Copies of this chain bind each other. A is one copy, B any other.
């Protein structure tokens, strides 16, 4: 079934829901999902509307133009998506491959509605896995000296492959603000801690030394500030004094895979709106 999805945010006022619902209904669309949220503190309205395009009177190419007057009237930030557009995803990875593997298996199983044409890494570790899945593999070793040059080459690769979403699946390099600027709210990272606790490197070691009784994982959009972008999803698992550092890592891996894959799926399903360094995740 072909569907269109609108993601909207704007200052709250009367009549927004009615206007959008009318726009869809009067053009013969059938809303299959609609959800809205008002942040009363920020006085901001958010909406996600998904409708069936079967019999819709406006052709997909014209929807944006026809919707523009409503958007202008309510001063909306908005995006229009179509279910037939399969986002193109690049996965960045370093030496630990469990998250990459998990994403590739889920994509193959039909759980992630996207194409994954390529893998980028600063290490050769993922080369065989990329090969197994028939994907292009780009190795860009990073040093402080070559970082900007390598990022430039990475950006060229992404551009050439028409990538819409970059997934950092345990990619242990900090992207420059310059790189991030090209993909605003289009880079998803998995951090192996319950942020904001244990930001930075070696979070499992930090957690082990602190003696916490629960560990977590956090997926978030990447911004210029390390590990501080809008949080998309978190989950936790119980640990005890019996768990060694290695146990924390092993338990954490399962969390990382689940938390990252949820975030990627929700992004692909256009369920996430980022604002004020937070997210609305429609369910």
Contact = CB atoms under 8 A, between A and B. Distances in A.
Interface of A: 13-15, 17-18, 21-22, 24-26, 28-41, 98, 101, 105, 109, 111, 132, 194-198, 210-214, 216, 230-236, 238, 240-242, 244-245, 250, 254, 258, 276-281, 283
Contacts of A37: 241-242
A90 to B, nearest CB: 23
Nearest to A265: B250
B258 A234 contact: no
A25 B17 contact: yes
A132 B36 CA distance: 43
Contacts of A213: 231-234, 281
A98 to B, nearest CB: 7
Nearest to A46: B241
A14 B32 contact: no
B281 A240 contact: yes
A15 to B, nearest CB: 5
- Of A37, A213, A234, A281, chain B has the most CB atoms within 10 Å of the CB of A213
A57 to B, nearest CB: 12
Contact of A196 (B40, B197, B241): B197
B241 A212 contact: no
Contacts of A210: 196, 231, 278
Nearest to A13: B30
Given A14-B28, A17-B21, 14 more contacts: A14-B30, A35-B35, A41-B245, A132-B132, A194-B216, A195-B197, A197-B197, A211-B230, A211-B276, A212-B231, A214-B235, A214-B236, A241-B278, A241-B279
